[in-house]
Amino acid sequence: MSIDNPETMETPTGEALAEAPILTEVLPELPTVMDEQDLIIETRNLSKRYGRLQAISNLNLQVPRGAIYGFVGPNGAGKTSTMRILTTLMKPSGGEAYINGYSVVTAPREVRRSIGYMPDFFGVYEDMKVWEYLDFFAACYEIPEAQRPGLINDLLELVDLAHRRDDMVDKLSRGMKQRLCLARTLAHDPQVLILDEPASGLDPRARIEIRELLIELAKMGKTIFFSSHILADVNEICTHIGIIEAGQMVAQGPIKAMRQQLMPHRVLVITLLGRLDEAKEALLHVEGILGIVDLPPEDGKIRIKVEFTGEDLRMSEMLQALTSKGIPVVNFAEESSDLEAVFMKATKGIVS
């Protein structure tokens, strides 16, 4: 988790920061090998208009099976509209959408069997206990009565609500309701989870709990398609990302490729004790350097910014070029091209 992220900075107790190392340990276990051609969610020229407002235009969404796909975009970009079409709640005005190979228009029942959906805003029934709530939805998903008690226990265990089993649903906290709703989406063991801003309105701890849950679900083999405007979430747990702006897909793909595609320039900051001109001279012989800019000195040390393209090998070559001449390098680090930058670059602020 990046320290300069405002989302994590606001945590008053530092819980989020304290939890972070656990998360980063989990991250390398994310599913990485997947068939990019095996699309579990696919839309072709999907469009939706509300009266005169074109909310989605020619959207081609491609979510490979097993991916954790972050669907990012500013408010009003069309994320919720897209999800409502994918979940058979709304008809598209044009184009096609398929889930697991089934058309959302002509085979809604098969689509519903394949998906678990959590809307951005949802209510819970007032006069129900937690286990009754899950029992009700399990029944709606045609789970045989005999299997339900065991299933409910498993689901409550998974979302860490087993101790609230007999409480009334409407008395739960927002974070617990969110987790309960997530448990509900899993009742019929769907292959895809479609989650509309699953972390919105939650405190940092609850947000991390949801995030951990998503990673756990991904490990169970579920494809997760979720929308968010919290870039940290997307950055940390996604294998794929799609950026939507004003109803159009600006960019999408595996997260690594996205970083390279949208941020082809890599930036290196080098701190020296002296011999600036020699250093510049040495660096210019390395391939792929686009430019060198002087930065204001810090504590009397000289700092330069080097823009370059290419692999990590270039960096090692640069360092070698400097040290072989005995230039006193004290710091040599790449400025991280975080997703925030990708996002700001991709979205031009058409939607406010």
Partner 1 sequence: METPATRTRISLNPLRPLLRNPVALKELRGRMRGPRAFVVLTCYLIVVGGFTTLLYIAGTAATYNTTGEVDGGTLGRVLFGSVVAIELFLVTFITPAFTAGSISGEHESQTYDLLRTTLLPERQLVFGKLFSALAYVFLLLLAAIPLQSIAFLFGGVDVEEIVISLLVLLATAIFLGNIGVYYSAMTHRTLRANIMTYVTILAVILVTTAGAVIALAIVEGLDPSTSSSGSEWVLLVARGIFVCLNPLTTLLSTQQYLVNQQTLFTFKYTFTDGTTTTLPSPWIAFTIFYLLLSVVVFFATTRHLKRIEG
Ligand X SMILES: Nc1ncnc2c1ncn2[C@@H]1O[C@H](COP(=O)(O)OP(=O)(O)OP(=O)(O)O)[C@@H](O)[C@H]1O
Applying CB under 6 A, the residues found at the interface with ligand X are 50, 53, 55, 73, 75-81, 120, 229
**Least separation, in Å, of the C-beta of 46 and ligand X?**
12
Stretch that binds partner 1, among 68-76, 109-117, 155-163, 288-296 (CB under 8 A): 109-117
State the binding partner of 88 from ligand X, Mg ion, partner 1, none, CB within 5 to 8 A by kind. Answer: partner 1
Residue 5 CA from chain centroid, whole number: 15
**Least separation, in Å, of the C-beta of 244 and ligand X?**
7
State the binding partner of 109 from Mg ion, ligand X, partner 1, none, CB within 5 to 8 A by kind. Answer: partner 1
The CA distance from 71 to 277, in Å, is 46
Return the amino acid letter for 82. Answer: T
Which tokens hold the place of 181? 């709703």
- 155 in Cβ contact with 134 (< 8 Å): yes
> Of these, 80, 178, 235, 271, which contacts Mg ion (CB under 5 A)?
80
Nearer to partner 1, 92 or 254 (CB): 92
The CA distance from 119 to 184, in Å, is 12
Within a 10 A sphere around the Cβ of 5, how many other Cβ atoms? Answer: 18
- 9 in Cβ contact with 16 (< 8 Å): no
> Of these, 30, 60, 96, 136, which contacts partner 1 (CB under 8 A)?
136
Q: Say whether residue 174 binds partner 1 (CB under 8 A).
A: no
Beta strands 53-59; 39-50: pairing state: antiparallel
**Least separation, in Å, of the C-beta of 27 and partner 1?**
30
Residue 226 — φ and ψ, nearest 5°? -135, 150
Residue 107 — φ and ψ, nearest 5°? -130, 55
State the binding partner of 81 from partner 1, ligand X, Mg ion, none, CB within 5 to 8 A by kind. Answer: ligand X
Stretch that binds partner 1, among 25-33, 123-131, 205-213, 246-254 (CB under 8 A): 123-131
> Coil, helix or strand for 44?
strand
Q: Which of residues 138-167 bind partner 1 (CB under 8 A)?
A: 139-142, 145, 148-149, 152, 166
- Closest-approach residue to Mg ion (CB): 80
> Coil, helix or strand for 37?
coil
State the binding partner of 95 from partner 1, ligand X, Mg ion, none, CB within 5 to 8 A by kind. Answer: none
Nearer to ligand X, 75 or 106 (CB): 75
Within a 10 A sphere around the Cβ of 109, how many other Cβ atoms? Answer: 9
The CA distance from 271 to 74, in Å, is 37
- 241 in Cβ contact with 64 (< 8 Å): no
State the binding partner of 105 from partner 1, Mg ion, ligand X, none, CB within 5 to 8 A by kind. Answer: partner 1
Show Cβ contacts of residue 307 under 8 Å, excluding neighbours closer than 6 positions.
Answer: 265, 266, 267, 268, 289, 290, 291, 292, 293
Stretch that binds partner 1, among 5-13, 25-33, 129-137, 172-180 (CB under 8 A): 129-137
State the binding partner of 344 from ligand X, partner 1, Mg ion, none, CB within 5 to 8 A by kind. Answer: none
> Of these, 21, 94, 123, 221, which contacts partner 1 (CB under 8 A)?
123
State the binding partner of 55 from partner 1, ligand X, Mg ion, none, CB within 5 to 8 A by kind. Answer: ligand X
The CA distance from 328 to 215, in Å, is 44
Return the amino acid letter for 22. Answer: I
The CA distance from 28 to 311, in Å, is 21
Q: Say whether residue 137 binds partner 1 (CB under 8 A).
A: yes
State the binding partner of 77 from Mg ion, partner 1, ligand X, none, CB within 5 to 8 A by kind. Answer: ligand X
Report the interface residues with Mg ion, using CB under 5 A. Answer: 79-80, 120
Report the interface residues with partner 1, using CB under 8 A. Answer: 87-91, 105, 108-109, 112-113, 115, 117, 119, 121-129, 131-132, 135-137, 139-142, 145, 148-149, 152, 166, 181, 184, 188
